[in-house]
């Protein structure tokens, strides 16, 4: 089983290893990643605050300037440790035991807006790029869909898929084979912020239990959640969880 997870716009600083673009998942993407990264770095070097504001999703120049850096030569850390958004806060990777961390490293595929498809333990530098923002003339989601989606389809052909990403990331890759996704409701309404939190909580519980199949996942009790409904449309099965408190 492989688990798909979206990134976050916020990142942790620092790192403990050199960044190697050619070491990321799918070496076949190297020329495309190189092109995108060069475009990104050229925009940073020009230093146009308005352009950078749009690309970073930040308004204040004082917030923008710290992200104008030579990320290619900065230290890298595991992607799953780099991201610091709501889902990652609730996953709390650093407090998992080695067995659960190893599970995350080998089962989770992250969907970076800059680097494309990543293993959870791929080493990446700190960067800033707003979801959906183009890099120069490159529409990132279209770019990675064109060059990376076929690689993902081949990579996952023998795997069950649990998709914990936000819907936006279907634009990068949407499984053609059967897959399972989650929806969270509270008081009959679909929630967004809590959905991010519970994606992290669910992933943490999966990792702690070492779940290897969707059948095993369906039998996994998760505190605070109850299965309300299961819907299947075409190749997508959606488990609808009710948040109990």
> Pseudo-torsion of CA 79, 122, 44, 16, nearest 10°?
80
Q: Give, rounded to a whole angstrom, the gap between the first and last alpha carbons of the chain.
A: 29
Strands (E), 9-151: 77-78, 108-112, 116-119, 123-124
Host domain of residue 59:
2-243
Residue 45's pLDDT is: 97
Would you put residue 207 in left (φ > 0), alpha (ψ -120 to 50) or beta? alpha
> Which pLDDT tens digit goes with each residue over 42-52?
999 999 999 99
Which two structure tokens, joined as six digits, stand for 3? 């688990």
Residue 137's pLDDT is: 96
Residue 191's pLDDT is: 87
Question: What percent of the chain clears pLDDT 90, i.e. is strictly above it?
Answer: 96
Question: Which residues, other chains included, contact 189 with Cβ-Cβ below 8 Å and sequence gap of 6+?
Answer: none
CA distances from 116 to 79, 142, 225 (A): 12, 11, 31
Please tell me whether the overall predicted TM-score, pTM, comes out greater than 0.75 for this model: yes
Taking a C-beta distance cutoff of 8 angstroms, is the pair 41, 128 a contact?
Answer: no
| Rounded average pLDDT over 113-128 | 98
- Among the listed residues 128, 126, 140, the one whose alpha carbon sits nearest the alpha carbon of residue 53: 128
In sign, the C-alpha dihedral spanning 32, 34, 39, 43 is positive
> Which pLDDT tens digit goes with each residue over 14-37?
999 999 999 999 999 999 999 999
Q: State phi, psi for 144 to the nearest 5 degrees.
A: -75, -30
CA distances from 22 to 14, 31, 42, 110, 123 (A): 20, 9, 20, 17, 11
Residue 244's pLDDT is: 86
CA atoms within 13 A on the CB side of 232: 6
- Residue the block writes with tokens 């669910």: 202
- Tell me how many domains the chain contains: 1
Question: Would you place residue 187 in the very low, low, confident or very high pLDDT band (cuts 50, 70, 90)?
Answer: confident
């Amino acid at each position: 089983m492989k688990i798909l997870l979206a990134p976050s716009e916020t990142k942790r600083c620092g790192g403990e290893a050199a960044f190697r673009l050619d070491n990321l998942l799918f070496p076949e993407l190297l020329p495309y990643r190189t092109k995108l990264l060069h475009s990104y770095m050229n925009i940073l070097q020009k230093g146009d605050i308005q352009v950078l504001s749009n690309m970073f999703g930040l308004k204040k120049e004082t917030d923008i300037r710290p992200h104008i850096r030579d990320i290619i030569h900065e230290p890298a850390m595991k992607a799953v440790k780099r991201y610091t958004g709501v889902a990652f806060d609730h996953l709390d990777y650093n407090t998992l035991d080695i067995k659960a961390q190893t599970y995350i490293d080998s089962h989770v595929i992250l969907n970076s807006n800059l680097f494309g498809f990543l293993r959870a333990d791929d080493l990446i530098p700190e960067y800033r790029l707003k979801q959906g923002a183009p890099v120069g003339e490159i529409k990132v989601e279209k770019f990675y869909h064109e060059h990376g989606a076929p690689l993902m389809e081949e990579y996952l052909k023998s795997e069950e898929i649990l998709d914990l990403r936000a819907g936006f990331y279907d634009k990068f890759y949407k499984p053609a084979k059967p897959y399972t996704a989650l929806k969270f409701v509270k008081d009959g309404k679909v929630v967004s912020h809590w959905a991010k939190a519970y994606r992290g909580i669910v992933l943490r519980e999966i990792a702690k239990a070492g779940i290897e199949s969707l059948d095993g996942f369906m039998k996994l009790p998760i505190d605070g959640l109850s299965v309300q409904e299961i819907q299947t449309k075409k190749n997508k099965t959606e488990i609808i969880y009710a948040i109990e408190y």
